[in-house]
Amino acid sequence: MTPVLVTGGTGFIGSWCILALLDAGHIVRTTVRDLQREPALRSWLHEAAVFDDDRLTVVRADLQHPDGWDAAAADCEHVLHVASPTLRHTPTSDDDLVVPAREGVLRVLRAARDAGVRRTVLTSAFGAVGIGHPPRSTPFTEEDWTNTDADIPPYQRSKTLAERAAWRFIGEEGGGMELTAVHPVGVLGPLLGPDDPPSLRLVRRMLEGRVPACPPFGMGYVDVRDVADLHVRAMTDPAAAGERFLAVAGHSLRVVDIARILHDRLGERAAKAPTRELPVWLTRALATVNPELRLLKHQLGRDLDATGAKAEKLLGWKARPIEDTITDTAESLLAHGIGA
């Protein structure tokens, strides 16, 4: 059996993809930027599942450097390209994310093509689908693309341009390699280790009482375990070749809905979560002095709804109820001492 390469193995989605592949019986090779993180990664995975250590190999490769990618892709039939540059602080310019994201995707695709990989699954995002558009009443689908001509945040711009570059590479230089893209909405779910993924920041801050009131917008959410399952299905199902798939559980949720679910499911342990939604006008005023709110300016007052019907129909994928995911997210954060 040939190994499956997973890039970004210590990341939130990447580590769950590794676990899903191991559970399905695959041999896995994963990349990390720092090999000193290998023992921690193995420890997290062993706490969640039983597997033979020789089924997992950890190698060093960095999206911003060429070294190591040819060796990482060697002898692989499939690649899950999950790694993507993320910033723990607010980016100062588009180039902070756009250039490394685009060049990183192309670096991985070239190595995969040269190694004879049959299919690469690219982890994109809803940020490459539904940003920069006027308000609409219908859910976004895989036919939609984010409008990069609009004034949109750097992260969404980076995901869109990186995916565009990936499809262009496949069409012009792919040498017959297949590409599939997975587009998660807001990713929640339990932690495998004590890391603090940016996608869980909202729930963490609610539990800590650092969100005095809920910003007025809604979007879709999905469980990281279901995102990993969709990656594995997209890797193996013939119907997935050349397709994009949104990963979303149900319909969009307002931020205040998440807070209410926390109160209902966790009781006093979620006592610090806010119970009211800010007016749009006040949120816009606060955004002039709050960089994080400023990044949400296109979402304020809107519900960015999306549908996962395509993945359900073509791949038999099904997401768990988002109420359970929100509960598991909070329980996991509290168990790791985050958000207490």
pLDDT tens digits for range 143-176:
999 999 999 888 899 999 999 999 999 999 999 9
| 121 pLDDT more than 80 | yes
Q: Identify the pLDDT of residue 162.
A: 97
Mean pLDDT, residues 75-102 taken together: 79
pLDDT over 70, % of the chain: 97
Q: Identify the pLDDT of residue 269.
A: 96
Q: Identify the pLDDT of residue 287.
A: 85
160 Cβ contact partners less than 8 Å away, ≥ 6 residues apart: 127, 128, 131, 145, 146, 148
Full DSSP string of 32-73: ES-GGGHHHHHHHHHHH----GGGEEEEE--TTS-TTHHHHH
Within a 10 A sphere around the Cβ of 267, how many other Cβ atoms?
9
* Structure tokens, 12: 């939130």
pLDDT tens string 89-110: 555 566 778 888 999 999 999 9
Q: Identify the pLDDT of residue 334.
A: 95
**Domain limits of the chain?**
4-189+220-249+305-319
Q: Identify the pLDDT of residue 223.
A: 98
- Average pLDDT of the chain, as a whole number: 94
Q: Of the ranges 57-61, 126-130, 288-292, which one carries the lowest mean pLDDT score?
A: 288-292
pTM of the model: 0.95
Specify whether 159 is catalytic: yes
In this structure, are residues 259 and 274 in contact, taking their beta carbons and an 8 Å threshold?
yes
| Domain 4-189+220-249+305-319 CATH (choose: 3.20.20.70, 3.60.21.10, 3.40.50.720, 3.40.50.1360) | 3.40.50.720
pLDDT tens string 124-134: 999 999 999 99
Q: Identify the pLDDT of residue 92.
A: 54
Find the catalytic residue in 159, 272, 297, 310.
Answer: 159
Q: Give the pLDDT band of residue 292 (cuts 50, 70, 90).
A: confident
Burial group, residue 137, by CB count within 10 angstroms (0-12, 13-18, 19+): exposed
